[in-house]
Chain A
Amino acid sequence: MERIPILRMGPNLLVSIEVDMYDQLAQTLLDDLGDRIVREAARGVLIDISALDVVDSYIGGMFNRIAQLARILDAETVIVGIRPAVAITLVELGISLRGIKTALDVEQGMKILREAEVGATGGGLVVHQED
């Protein structure tokens, strides 16, 4: 069965969507993500969609479902690499991606997740390097 790979980067999970999504694949991704977040106590989920040229309301809805799931499991969701045309489409479709953070690329997305983690723990428990 086709699966979208989920990579682990420190306390975060990285998902790169490069194929067209359909019901079964989205459901599998959702199941897998829930599983991994719990199993690895992930703090954040980073979804890279820079390879997607087109989106529809279905994919928009899927992002919202992932974000809700992650939030319930105490993880932050960041979507990165939204292309200009995709951004315009999402706005025109009225999909707001409320509560989901966005970033220009994976690097920036990781920065957001690191900062969120520092914020959540009050910076007390996490040793982080000043840059």
Chain B
Amino acid sequence: MELETKISRVLANYGKELVQEWVQEQLKDMSTHGHLMSDQQLRSQCEEFVHLVQRAAALSDCRDMKGAEWEPTRDMLASISKSRAHQGYTAAETALFVLSFKKPFFDRLRLEHGGNTDALAADLFLASDLLENLALHTTNVFQASREEIIRRQELEIMELSTPVIQLWPGILCIPLIGTFDSERTHVMVESLLQKIADTRSEIAILDISGVATVDTLVAQHIMKTIAAVRLMGADCFISGLRPAVAQTMVQLGVELLNVITKANLGSAMDLALRRLGLEVRNVKQ
């Protein structure tokens, strides 16, 4: 015997009450994150969800969520998940949005079915399955948007960490900031060499005033960078050696043989300009 599902009817008849109870339920659960979203916003999200599910349930048999009838629901949940991922909700809290609908919804289903336990059990199973699938969908979207955020940030950090600046036609500057490992050095050397090739620059200034400490490995990376720059046919100066860094290098026995070092970027720039046959002079006289 095919039992008729009352999911759609329950949603249509008790829509307002369901939303009311559901919102209460969620406010209780998410007391810690109450400030992230207004009650009004939450209520309108809930209303829209109930409305969309009702319409989809009326059109389909609630068994397969992949159909076109469920697309508006899926899209709406996806946009909620995305915005929550950006607002800083956890994955559990996002999934709870859908899962917390169970309690008020099941209560209403029980009332509607009265004593017909077979029909009630079938409907509960169906509704439970439906809501869990929708919750899983929100979790998937939530995770995907989180990953997207991480990927974007990774890219930004990578770009931030290795800027190559053209100070003058023919003169490039690469300011080193923070700590240097092989991975970062690799990216830095690659972008520097590429920029040298692109701009046909003759001089690259390695400004290490932002490097707090230098160990043998970092010194080795710097020497390798200089060697590669020279192979390209450009020359490389170092500027901004801090006294402490200079001392460490001496103690470590790092000799910057054949490398021109300057105290600050200005004097390195001055030397670079001279190499190109240019000079800076005061014209106000």
Q: Which residues of A contact B (CB under 8 A)?
A: 79-80, 82-84, 86-88, 90-92, 96-97, 102-105, 108-109
Would you give 18 A-B contacts (Cβ < 8 Å), ordered by A? A79-B233, A80-B233, A82-B232, A82-B233, A83-B197, A84-B193, A84-B197, A84-B232, A87-B193, A87-B228, A88-B190, A88-B193, A102-B230, A102-B231, A104-B201, A104-B232, A104-B234, A108-B200
Q: A96 CA to B231 CA in the complex, in Å?
A: 8
Q: Is the interface of B mostly helix, strand, loop or mixed?
A: helix
Q: A102 CA to B234 CA in the complex, in Å?
A: 8
Taking CB atoms, residues of chain B closer than 8 Å to A105 are 200, 233
Number of A-B contacts (CB under 8 A): 51
Q: Are A104 and B197 in contact (CB under 8 A)?
A: yes
Taking CB atoms, residues of chain B closer than 8 Å to A103 are 233
Q: A5 CA to B197 CA in the complex, in Å?
A: 26
- Decide if B227 is an interface residue (CB 8 Å cutoff): yes
Q: Are A88 and B189 in contact (CB under 8 A)?
A: yes
Q: Are B227 and A102 in contact (CB under 8 A)?
A: no
Determine how close the nearest CB of chain B comes to the CB of A55; give it in whole angstroms. Answer: 10
Q: A97 CA to B229 CA in the complex, in Å?
A: 13
Q: Specify the chain A residue showing the minimal Cβ separation from B199.
A: A104
Q: Are A84 and B202 in contact (CB under 8 A)?
A: no
Q: Are A84 and B190 in contact (CB under 8 A)?
A: yes
Interface residue count for B (Cβ, 8 Å)? Answer: 18
Q: Specify the chain A residue showing the minimal Cβ separation from B197.
A: A84
Q: Which residues of B contact A (CB under 8 A)?
A: 189-190, 193-194, 196-197, 200-202, 224, 227-234
Taking CB atoms, residues of chain B closer than 8 Å to A104 are 196-197, 200-202, 232-234
Q: Specify the chain B residue showing the minimal Cβ separation from A88.
A: B228
Q: Are A96 and B200 in contact (CB under 8 A)?
A: no
Determine how close the nearest CB of chain B comes to the CB of A45; give it in whole angstroms. Answer: 15
Q: Specify the chain A residue showing the minimal Cβ separation from B225.
A: A91
Taking CB atoms, residues of chain A closer than 8 Å to B231 are 82, 86-87, 90-91, 97, 102
Q: Are B227 and A91 in contact (CB under 8 A)?
A: yes
Q: Are B232 and A87 in contact (CB under 8 A)?
A: yes
Q: Are B200 and A91 in contact (CB under 8 A)?
A: no
Q: A39 CA to B60 CA in the complex, in Å?
A: 91
Determine how close the nearest CB of chain A comes to the CB of B126; give it in whole angstroms. Answer: 60
Q: A114 CA to B182 CA in the complex, in Å?
A: 39
Taking CB atoms, residues of chain B closer than 8 Å to A90 are 228, 231
Taking CB atoms, residues of chain B closer than 8 Å to A88 are 189-190, 193, 228
Q: Are A91 and B234 in contact (CB under 8 A)?
A: no
Determine how close the nearest CB of chain B comes to the CB of A13; give it in whole angstroms. Answer: 18
Taking CB atoms, residues of chain B closer than 8 Å to A84 are 190, 193-194, 196-197, 228, 232
Taking CB atoms, residues of chain A closer than 8 Å to B233 are 79-80, 82, 102-105, 108-109
Taking CB atoms, residues of chain A closer than 8 Å to B196 are 84, 104
Q: Are A91 and B202 in contact (CB under 8 A)?
A: no
